[in-house]
Structure 1
Amino acid sequence: MASTGLQLLGLVLAVLGWVFGALVCAAPLWRVSAFVGGELVIAQVVWEGLWMNCLSQSTGQIQCKSYDSTLALPKSAQAARGLTVLSLLLCLLALMLGVTGAKCTHCMGDANQASKSRMARVAGLLFVVAGLAYLIPICWTAHAVIRDFYDPTVAAPFKRELGPALYLGWGASLLLLVGGSLLHVGSSPPGARALPVFGRAAKDNPHTGAAGEVKPQEKSFV
């Protein structure tokens, strides 16, 4: 039987993961300047994201600029853009299916519980797929940052550190995975009631009862 508590908990966690994921996608804090060596000007901090980069001055002034061309970006940045946008769109579709298929809603009527449960399970799977799709560019970017940081051939001004958006992205992916799993588990089919059906069938068929229940019937006819 579908569990309303698990469904609601899964939806809440998945929606939180979706909101955090949208913030991470728009934030220019994926990669931050690494202050190593004496060649960097500490008065300036460079922030890099998927859609823009920003330059923060020591005076508090921040200048941001969007990337001029998408095709001029590296292949990894283009793939990260596509995966994050795809993940957010999957979350939107999963949210509509999850709200429609939740047991506490009346979008499809109370008599059609089997279809509602099936729709909620599909929504849970979509949230899980969205979480995996969002996790790929986060881990990919983190691996590239760490690799370039420890690469001696990369000049110090071009070294970067992990930005706070990556940590928030890991949390968003975890919320999507856990929320989708809870929504899927909490939306079991309502027809899985083997024991009550068997007991009702035993009462309707007197020949399937025990021998002690048949003997009184034979004596009554005698």
Structure 2
Amino acid sequence: MANTGLQVMGLVLGVAGWAFGILVCATPWWRVSAFVGDELVVSQVLWEGLWMTCLSQWGRLQCKVYDSGLALTGSTQTCRALCVLSLLLCFFALPLCVVGLKCTRCLGDAHESKARLVRAGAILFLLAAFFFLLPVCWTAYVVIRDFYDPNVAAPLKRELGPSLYLGWGVTVLMLVGGAVSYLGSTSPGVPAMPVFGRRGKVNPPPTTTESKPEKVFV
């Protein structure tokens, strides 16, 4: 039978991952300018994200949205698409998990149908975590690769922004939420022993042997 506590806990974790995922996707804190070499100007900090760049100077922050999405690199466009796909999967998983909760009355007493809806929503949360993890890990890899590349000029080097660390936390929330929701909607009952032989014949009927009357010799 489904566990209401696990279902609610998984739903809360999944919604939290979805909300923080929207924040990570929208913020420009994916990459930050690195001060390496003999660079003297440290009052300007450049932040770069998927949708905009921000320049912080003397406590003032100025942000600008990218003029053209097609002018961006293929890596940035792919990261955009994967993040949006992940958030859409969470959006579709949310109503499935809410309707399929054991404590709701949306489908009456159809417990098995409700459990299937929760399992479908849990799988969507797991897929969302996978698709959100890809752009975060790829961006971190590119930043680290360019930082240690001697052919990249010092002003073009970047460091890992706080959005990447928050993105890894978002994937954990989605993964745990999906796993807990799936476990909370599974039935623990399992048949003790498998049945072999003809269908519907569990135990063979007892064989009776006719007892012949014994001959009595006088």
Looking at structure 2, the residues matched to 163 and 122 of structure 1 have their Cα atoms a distance apart, in angstroms, of 34
TM-score (normalised: structure 1): 0.84
- Structure 1: runs of 5 or more not aligned: 196-206, 209-222
User: What pairs with 1:121-140 in structure 2 (closer than 5 Å)?
Assistant: 121-140=119-138
TM-superposition CA deviations, 1:132-169 (whole Å, max 9, x none): 00000000000000000000000000000000000000
The residue number in structure 2 matching 1:176 is 174
Seen in structure 2, the aligned counterparts of structure 1 residues 193 and 172 have a Cα distance that, compared at 3 Å, is same
The residue number in structure 1 matching 2:61 is 62
Q: Is the 8 A contact 1:120 1:187 kept in 2?
A: yes
- Residue identity (%): 61
Q: Is the 8 A contact 1:118 1:189 kept in 2?
A: no
AA at the equivalent of 1:96: P
Q: Is the 8 A contact 1:40 1:156 kept in 2?
A: no
| 2:38 match: secondary structure | coil
Q: CA deviation at 1:193?
A: 6.5
Seen in structure 2, the aligned counterparts of structure 1 residues 154 and 19 have a Cα distance that, compared at 3 Å, is same
Q: Is the 8 A contact 1:40 1:157 kept in 2?
A: no
AA at the equivalent of 2:158: R
Looking at structure 1, the residues matched to 144 and 8 of structure 2 have their Cα atoms a distance apart, in angstroms, of 38
RMSD across aligned C-alpha pairs, in angstroms? 1.5
- Structure 2: runs of 5 or more not aligned: 193-203, 206-218
The residue number in structure 2 matching 1:75 is 74
Looking at structure 1, the residues matched to 116 and 25 of structure 2 have their Cα atoms a distance apart, in angstroms, of 31
User: What pairs with 1:40-51 in structure 2 (closer than 5 Å)?
Assistant: 41-51=41-51
Looking at structure 2, the residues matched to 105 and 193 of structure 1 have their Cα atoms a distance apart, in angstroms, of 26
The residue number in structure 2 matching 1:52 is 52
TM-superposition CA deviations, 1:99-126 (whole Å, max 9, x none): 01111111111x2111100010000000
Q: Does the alignment pair 1:116 with 2:114? A: yes
| 2:84 match: secondary structure | helix
Seen in structure 2, the aligned counterparts of structure 1 residues 76 and 40 have a Cα distance that, compared at 3 Å, is farther
Number of positions where the alignment pairs a residue of Structure 1 with one of Structure 2:
194
Looking at structure 1, the residues matched to 107 and 68 of structure 2 have their Cα atoms a distance apart, in angstroms, of 46
Looking at structure 1, the residues matched to 40 and 63 of structure 2 have their Cα atoms a distance apart, in angstroms, of 20
TM-score (normalised: structure 2): 0.86
Which of the pair has more CA radius of gyration? 2
| 1:161 match: secondary structure | strand
AA at the equivalent of 2:128: A
Q: CA deviation at 1:39?
A: 2.5
